[in-house]
Amino acid sequence: MTSPIDTAAAGGDLIPRPLAPAAERVRVWDPFVRFFHWGLAVAVLIAFLTEDELQGLHDWAGYTVIGLIAARILWGVIGPRHARFSDFVRGPRATLAYLKDILRGHPARYLGHNPAGAAMAVVLIGGLIATALTGVATLSNEGMEDIHEVIAYATLCLIPLHLLGVVVASRQHDENLVRGMIDGYKRK
C-alpha cells in the first residue's frame, strides 16, 4: 500500500513550476491505466449524448464501458504497483479522515491515488457497472428503463465532483494531475 509522501519540501513552493526535470519525475500511471481512463471518459460521454437519439451507438458505448471496466478490474489485480487496488483502496475510516484533512487544507500527498481519489474511482466504477448492466437489462425488460435512468443520472452526478476533486488536489499539492493522467508522470 502506498504511504503518504513527506511534502514539507515539495509542497512549499509559492510559484508553480512548469515541469519538473526528468530526474525529479517518476512514472506513476502505466499506459493501460491512461488508455482506460480516457477511453472510459469518451465512452461515458458518448453514452450520455446519444441516449434516445442514437440508441444503437448508445448501446455500443455502454458495452465499451463494460469491456474497459472488466479489463481494469483484472489490471487492478495483476497490473503494476499504482494500478493495483491493493495500492489505493482504503476503508471508510481512512477515507473520512483524509477528507477532513482536505478541508483543513493540508492533506498528505500520495504518488498513486490519494484515499479520496481512490474512493471516487471505486464509486464511479461501481456506478458505471450498475448503469451499464441495467442498460443491458432494458433490452429484455422495458420496465428496467426507469431504473437504468435513475442509476445513470446518479452516477453521472459524480463526474463534476470527480473533476472538482482533481482541481482541488492539483492546487493543494501544486501539481498538474491531469497532465499526469496524460503522460503518466508525476513529481517525485
Positions that interact with ligand HEM (CB under 6 A): 33, 36-37, 40-41, 44-45, 47-48, 51-52, 58-59, 62-63, 65, 72, 113, 117, 121, 124-125, 128, 131-132, 135-136, 138-139, 145, 148-149, 152-153, 159, 162-163, 166, 177-178, 180-181
Tell me how far, at minimum, the Cβ of 100 lies from ligand HEM, in Å. 18
Cβ proximity to ligand HEM: between 96 and 133 the closer is 133
Which amino acid belongs to residue 105? G
Q: Where are the alpha helices (DSSP H) in the chain?
A: 31-50, 55-78, 85-88, 92-104, 115-137, 144-156, 158-172, 177-183
Of all helices (H) and strands (E), which one includes residue 25?
strand 25-27
Query: Please, which residue, 96 or 144, has the CB nearer to ligand HEM?
Result: 144
Nearest approach, Cβ of residue 93 and ligand HEM (Å): 20
Give the nearest distance from C-beta 90 to ligand HEM in angstroms: 13
Question: In the bound complex, what is the minimum distance in angstroms from residue 44's beta carbon to ligand HEM?
Answer: 4
Q: Which three cell numbers stand for residue 77?
A: 489485480
- As measured in angstroms, the least distance from the Cβ of 171 to ligand HEM is 13
Residue 43: DSSP 8-state: H
Nearer to ligand HEM, 48 or 185 (CB): 48
Residues 48/156, Cβ–Cβ less than 8 Å: yes
DSSP 3: -
Q: Which CB atom, from 13 or from 142, has the smaller least distance to ligand HEM?
A: 142
The owner of cell 441495467 is 134
Nearer to ligand HEM, 41 or 77 (CB): 41
| Residue 85 CB, nearest approach to ligand HEM (Å) | 9
Which residues have C-beta within 8 Å of that of residue 3, sequence separation ≥ 6? none
Is 33 or 90 the residue whose CB approaches ligand HEM more closely? 33
Q: Please list, residue by residue across 89-121, b when 16 or more beta carbons sit within 10 angstroms of its beta carbon and e when fewer do.
A: bbeeeebeebeebbeeeebebbbbbbbbbbbbb
